Structure 1
Amino acid sequence: MLYVTFFFTITLFLYGLYVLKEERKKRLKRRLSNVFDRIETKESEPTEDSDKQQRSLYQRIFAPIWKEFKRSFKKSMPGEKEAKLEVKLLKAGNPLGMTPVEFRLIQIGLFIGLPLLAWGYAQLMQLHSGGIVFFLLIGLVLALFIPNFYIKQKTKQRNHAALKELPDILDLLTVSLEAGLGFDSAISKLVSKKEGVLPSEFHRCLEEIRLGKTRREALSGIRERLDVDEIKMLISSILQAEKLGIGMVQVLRVQSSEVREQRKQRAEEEAMKAPIKMLFPLVIFIFPTIFIVLLGPAVIDFLNAF
């Protein structure tokens, strides 16, 4: 026992010396880095030549060409079509930061690229003319279907997320108004405390109000970008309460109780659908295996008997 204690004492002592040495090295490196960083920030000021050298080949050559091409393509694009695409992208939450021009270019690229890929695949398989035409039609259908399907799915996911966030958002707005804040201050408090689809929409609403839009126009924009009945009803109630001079707290409290009741009803509806949805996998996958396990040996014995 004495030898073990002595061994642990020596080990801890050596480890303490090693840690102390490493800590001194780290402290010295930290001091030197602080000094050299200050010297570099004072002496080295970025110039245009150094910026050009630091930029990549894409930023120096291809990015200006791409911007000029998008600008020229935008001029040839009809204004009504661009407005419709912008509304679709806003409803989908601007996925991948796409503009209407970029989305249209992606559509054209898919319309050209997918049929070419289908034609190349048909050539590799050495199909006849009928098979090549069939693959080309498949490529064209996919090129027409994929972008719109992607936008619809993004819009659906965004609306579902907004509907899920709505009860908590209403509670926070109600508490903020009851605490004595104004409606705009309550929205700014909501934006600072919450993240998600609805807070981002209210943040956009505040920015539009600061840029000169009326509150009615900014809130109506939220109603247009989110295709959810509960949110449309909420915005209409807020606008009506503002117009008639009704207390906003009472309106939000009523809306909150209605939204929670509707969420409860949707959950009960999904629970009622669950047994019907479970019936198909039971019939297709589980019942056949049960029949094989139970009746398989009897069938084998019956066949062997004859």
Structure 2
Amino acid sequence: MYMMTIILLIGGFVLYRREMSQKVSSRKSYVYGFEGTAAVDVAEEEEDKRSLFQRLIQPKLKVFKRQFRRNIPSEKQEKLELKLLRAGNPMGLSPFEYRLVQLILYVSFPLLFSILAIIGNASFGRVLFMILLGLGLAAYLPVVYLRMKTATRYTEAVKELPDFIDLLAVSMEAGLGFDSALSKVVSKQEGVLSNEFRRCLEELKLGKTRKEALSGIRERLEVDDIKLLIGSIIQAEQLGVGMVQTLRVQSEEIRERRKQRAEEQAMKAPIKMLFPLVLFIFPCIFIVLLGPAIIQIVEMFANQ
């Protein structure tokens, strides 16, 4: 019965749409004549070829996007865009799309968790707890995801930095200018640094100064080694110091700092291993060594 009702409603809606479209096309043909009718038919054919998402959902998203830009201050939008850029712009999300994902999670997670609790015949307090848990996860997961992507990206950039500087210095020693050498290295190498310096070159073509473009890299990659490198390049350009020599010095210093960080981590390793040893390994050793003796002592007292 319900299926028949739904089928009849859908069929009636389709017939109504077809009748209305025919009326509209006939009115437009009456107003514009034959040429207008042909243009209307072409437009209707193009509209029919579009998917349901393009015809119904996409216009609504555009309206929401305009409202988002109108209601959210530009400073907050810029901060959110900077966070996405630091994370590598995951899945190509814009600030509006990221907020939309957060909104979907805020609605879907509590709803899903509450449905699971109701199916499990949970009490009202348990259902309320599951709703709050869903809200907490919806608020926490996107932030943690961005932080993890940002940390991974920073780690990759630090690993790539010495080799990238060496290639840039070799290209400049071969007679290329800084921009040409940078373009050459970026075209031959892939990675986080290549993507950032490629963006820097594009900003230079759009009219930004070299200092502004390089400062953008420093904002998107908040790593001490990269900040020092960008600062040295800007200072060398302003003071007229040899760029190749500056790059060589920076490469050696970065490798030395990497070596010092590795030694520091190696010295911290015994302290970090102390707690797992005390909590997990030592109890097992005590059980293996003292277990048989304890069993014998218990049996001896039991026989007495």
Please confirm whether the aligned pair reaches a TM-score higher than 0.5, indicating the same fold: yes
Find the counterpart in structure 2 of residue 211 from structure 1: 206
Find the counterpart in structure 2 of residue 86 from structure 1: 81
**Pairwise mapping of residues 204-243 of structure 1 onto structure 2 (< 5 A)?**
204-243=199-238
Question: Structure 2 CA distance, aligned partners of 1:177 and 1:263?
Answer: 25
Find the counterpart in structure 2 of residue 184 from structure 1: 179
- Percent identity, please: 60
Offset, 1:233: 0.9
Find the counterpart in structure 2 of residue 264 from structure 1: 259
One-letter amino acid of the counterpart of residue 169, structure 2: T
One-letter amino acid of the counterpart of residue 162, structure 1: A
One-letter amino acid of the counterpart of residue 264, structure 2: E
Runs of 4+ in 1 over 6 A off after TM superposition: 47-55
Offset, 1:274: 1.5
Offset, 1:136: 2.4
Find the counterpart in structure 2 of residue 126 from structure 1: 121
Offset, 1:144: 1.7
Offset, 1:52: 7.8
* 1:140 and 2:140 correspond: no
Residue 158 to residue 294, structure 1, CA distance change in 2 (3 Å): same
**Pairwise mapping of residues 271-286 of structure 1 onto structure 2 (< 5 A)?**
271-286=266-281
SS of the aligned residue for 2:203 comes to helix
Find the counterpart in structure 2 of residue 99 from structure 1: 94
**Pairwise mapping of residues 1-306 of structure 1 onto structure 2 (< 5 A)?**
57-58=52-53, 62-305=57-300, 306=302
Offset, 1:51: 8.4
Offset, 1:270: 1.1
One-letter amino acid of the counterpart of residue 267, structure 1: A
One-letter amino acid of the counterpart of residue 293, structure 1: V
Question: Structure 2 CA distance, aligned partners of 1:213 and 1:154?
Answer: 28
Question: Structure 2 CA distance, aligned partners of 1:63 and 1:88?
Answer: 25
One-letter amino acid of the counterpart of residue 149, structure 1: V
SS of the aligned residue for 2:112 comes to helix
Offset, 1:60: 5.7
Deviations 1:185-243 (A, max 9, x none): 11011101211000110000001101111111111100110000110111111111111
Offset, 1:115: 1.9
SS of the aligned residue for 1:213 comes to coil
Question: Structure 1 CA distance, aligned partners of 2:194 and 2:114?
Answer: 47
Residue 130 to residue 50, structure 1, CA distance change in 2 (3 Å): closer
Most deviating of 289-298 and 85-94 = 289-298
Question: Under a length normalisation based on structure 1, what TM-score does the superposition of the two structures give?
Answer: 0.77
One-letter amino acid of the counterpart of residue 264, structure 1: K
Structure 2 unaligned blocks of 5 or more: 1-41
Deviations 1:233-292 (A, max 9, x none): 111111111111111111111111110000000110111122222222222222222222
Question: Under a length normalisation based on structure 2, what TM-score does the superposition of the two structures give?
Answer: 0.78
Residue 288 to residue 54, structure 1, CA distance change in 2 (3 Å): farther
One-letter amino acid of the counterpart of residue 130, structure 1: G
Residue 50 to residue 265, structure 1, CA distance change in 2 (3 Å): farther
SS of the aligned residue for 1:180 comes to coil
Question: Structure 1 CA distance, aligned partners of 2:248 and 2:88?
Answer: 28
Offset, 1:121: 2.8
Question: Structure 1 CA distance, aligned partners of 2:117 and 2:283?
Answer: 39
Offset, 1:180: 1.2
SS of the aligned residue for 2:122 comes to coil
Offset, 1:297: 1.8
One-letter amino acid of the counterpart of residue 134, structure 1: F
SS of the aligned residue for 1:249 comes to helix
Most deviating of 112-121 and 164-173 = 112-121
Report how many residues are paired. Answer: 260
SS of the aligned residue for 1:195 comes to coil
Q: What's the RMSD between the two structures over aligned residues?
A: 2.3
Residue 54 to residue 275, structure 1, CA distance change in 2 (3 Å): farther
Most deviating of 103-112 and 198-207 = 103-112
Structure 1 unaligned blocks of 5 or more: 1-46
